[in-house]
């Protein structure tokens, strides 16, 4: 069991032990690429699997990248408190199932969430000890290039994502640390180093 002194209270009063790292930042910055690389190369890192109402992209496997659900099912999960945080992003819902994260943290083991900025703010309230990591693009132009170059999205969705990205970039100062995504390999290494050092007296796995 985790040291009770290391626990923090969520808004609904449920104690949640520390050990959570949150990767956030603007859409298109490469968060999911970093997470994919960690999934592939660092199987010892526990990754939360989010629930979403968006359609699967080619190559995405239900239960691996996301649990894909309908709007009604998502709204029921949110209303019944099954989500640690959730947000509506570019026309779809995204949320973090609460129970797997709570179990992981109660076991005193670290975990990684990838969420948008709105979700990161909610995690900050629910788990004040969480380490909030902001993934920044090398430049704004690079972010625009990545967002507009993604051929899987229609133009109106890309415009929504650019608009969201402008607001998300302004949130950087709310985070504990910024990593600049110049190289996926470097960001993964930095992230895993941060996670394994937290908490310092416990092993990563």
Contact residues: ligand 5GP, CB under 6 A:
27, 31-32, 50, 54, 85-87, 89, 94-96, 114-116, 118-119
Least gap, CB of 4 to ligand 5GP (angstroms):
28
Give min distance, CB of 76 to ligand 5GP, in A.
16
Phi, psi of 6 (to 5 degrees): -90, 0
Cα–Cα distance, 173 to 72 (Å, whole number): 35
Residue number with CB closer to ligand 5GP (161 or 194): 161
Cβ of residue 87: shortest distance to ligand 5GP, in angstroms?
4
Nearer to ligand 5GP among residue 18 and residue 35 (C-beta): 35
Residue 91 near residue 27 (C-beta atoms within 8 A): no
Written as six digits, the tokens of 169 are: 């970039």
Token code pair at residue 183: 């190289």
Q: How far is the CB of 24 from ligand 5GP (least distance, A)?
A: 7
Q: Rounded to the nearest 10 degrees, what angle do helices 31-41 and 184-196 cross at?
A: 70
């Amino acid at each position: 069991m985790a040291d009770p002194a290391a626990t923090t209270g969520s808004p609904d009063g449920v104690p949640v032990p520390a050990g959570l790292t949150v990767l956030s930042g603007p859409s298109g910055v490469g968060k999911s690429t970093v997470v994919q690389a960690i999934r592939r190369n660092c199987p010892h890192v526990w990754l939360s699997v989010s629930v979403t109402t968006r359609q699967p992209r080619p190559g995405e496997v239900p239960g691996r990248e996301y649990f894909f659900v309908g709007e009604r099912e998502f709204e029921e999960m949110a209303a019944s408190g099954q989500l640690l945080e959730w947000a509506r992003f570019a026309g779809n819902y995204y949320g973090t199932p609460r129970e797997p994260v709570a179990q992981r943290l109660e076991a005193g083991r670290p975990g990684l969430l990838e969420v948008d900025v709105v979700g990161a703010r909610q995690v900050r309230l629910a788990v004040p000890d969480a380490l909030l990591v902001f993934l920044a693009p090398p430049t704004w132009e690079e972010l625009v290039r990545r967002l507009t170059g993604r051929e899987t999205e229609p133009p109106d969705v890309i415009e929504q994502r650019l608009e969201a990205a402008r607001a998300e970039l302004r949130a950087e100062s709310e985070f504990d640390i910024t990593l600049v995504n110049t190289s996926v390999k470097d960001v993964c290494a930095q992230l895993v180093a941060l996670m394994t050092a937290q908490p310092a007296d416990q092993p990563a796995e």
